[in-house]
């Protein structure tokens, strides 16, 4: 697994040759612009990559990654990525992808002082609090850990739907659609959590609808 620093540049040369073998104009096309249909928000974990696990090529997915795939309204980085993806790139799908065995989730489940990480882990600890009765009822620690990974994905999806740019764009062309996934690295499989957003949103619409109810009316019709 270990690679020296210099090896990276050798790898790059090999990759450039391979791509040019497949298509002599590959890099000209790549440089001409991007038109991705997907925004992927995933964990920074080195094993939870975007393109590889989705089988996509450069240019096909706009990516944001941070510890435990958190979308916090005060995080200018994540919100700028989402705003740009929705307003400018007009992505059709926004994917929040967590992964089982996530170190950030494990740390958040551990009541300890993690220094600078504390405010970040607070986002996940708040997810635990929102779902405390369900999580506390799970006696198997591994299952509880896995479930918090899933619930964190769900809450981050809801955080995206709370954003005005997402609601406004959805009203105009019924995109983007927000999806919650988990990457199971023990099998390599992507699991669609099939979160029932309409059901969830019906409970919270009066709080988060930023479009004078028009947005929720359009969702309710479905």
Question: What is the contact surface with Co ion in residues (CB under 5 A)?
Answer: 43, 45, 102
Pairing of strands 177-184, 93-99: parallel
DSSP three-state, residue 164: helix
Least CB distance to Co ion at residue 192 (A): 18
Least CB distance to Co ion at residue 220 (A): 35
Nearer to Co ion, 68 or 79 (CB): 68
Nearer to Co ion, 43 or 86 (CB): 43
Residues known to be catalytic: 43, 45, 47, 99, 102
C-alpha angle 11/13/19, rounded to 5°?
100
Cα separation, 214 vs 212, whole angstroms: 6
Nearer to Co ion, 153 or 166 (CB): 153
Sequence-ordered list of residues with C-beta below 8 angstroms from that of 54, at least 6 positions apart, any chain: 38, 40, 61, 190
Q: How far is CA 77 from the centre of its chain?
A: 13
How does DSSP classify residue 100? T
């Amino acid at each position: 697994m270990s690679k020296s620093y210099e090896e990276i540049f050798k790898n790059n040369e090999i990759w450039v040759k391979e791509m040019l073998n497949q298509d002599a104009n590959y890099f000209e096309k790549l440089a001409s612009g991007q038109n991705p249909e997907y925004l992927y928000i995933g964990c920074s974990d080195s094993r939870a990559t975007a393109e590889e696990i989705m089988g996509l090529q450069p240019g096909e997915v706009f990516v944001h990654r941070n510890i435990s795939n958190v979308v916090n309204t005060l995080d200018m980085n994540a919100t700028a990525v989402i705003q740009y993806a929705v307003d400018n790139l007009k992505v059709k799908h926004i994917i929040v992808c967590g992964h089982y065995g996530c170190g950030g989730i494990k740390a958040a489940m551990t009541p300890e002082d993690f220094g600078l990480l504390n405010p970040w882990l607070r986002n996940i600890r708040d997810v635990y609090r929102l779902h405390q009765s369900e999580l506390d009822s799970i006696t198997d620690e591994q299952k509880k850990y896995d479930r918090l990974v899933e619930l964190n994905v769900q809450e981050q999806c809801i955080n995206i739907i709370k954003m005005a740019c997402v609601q406004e764009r959805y009203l105009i062309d019924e995109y983007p659609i927000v999806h919650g996934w988990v990457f199971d690295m023990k099998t390599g499989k992507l699991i669609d959590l099939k979160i029932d957003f309409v059901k969830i949103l019906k409970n919270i619409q009066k709080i988060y609808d930023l479009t004078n109810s028009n947005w929720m009316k359009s969702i309710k019709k479905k």
